[in-house]
């Protein structure tokens, strides 16, 4: 989990994201605890409307750690 890389990407591509700070904190905590991130689903508003000229992306990510990791 690359928190610094996450921020570099946001800045270099001038991306906007809801909860960027909270996401970075979660990533940092997860990294410290040895958790892994797994992308559950990703979609954009263009997937529904068909208009891909300007889209909003949505991601569902789970964090897995502890003794139950498979």
* Contact criterion met (CB below 8 Å) for 32 and 49: no
Euclidean distance between CA atoms 60 and 21, whole angstroms = 17
| Strands 36-44, 57-64: pairing kind | antiparallel
pTM of the model: 0.77
Token pair 């890389």 is found at 5
* Contact criterion met (CB below 8 Å) for 37 and 3: no
Beta bridge partners of 57: 44
- The per-residue pLDDT for range 15-70, each reduced to its tens digit, is 999 999 999 999 999 999 999 999 999 999 999 999 999 999 999 999 998 655 55
3-state SS class at 34? coil
């Amino acid at each position: 989990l690359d928190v610094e890389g996450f921020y570099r990407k946001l800045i270099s591509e001038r991306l906007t994201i809801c909860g960027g700070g909270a996401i970075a904190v979660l990533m940092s905590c997860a990294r410290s605890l040895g958790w892994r991130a797994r992308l559950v689903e990703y979609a954009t508003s263009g997937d529904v409307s068909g208009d891909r000229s300007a889209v909003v992306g949505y991601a569902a990510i789970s964090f897995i750690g502890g003794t139950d990791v498979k």
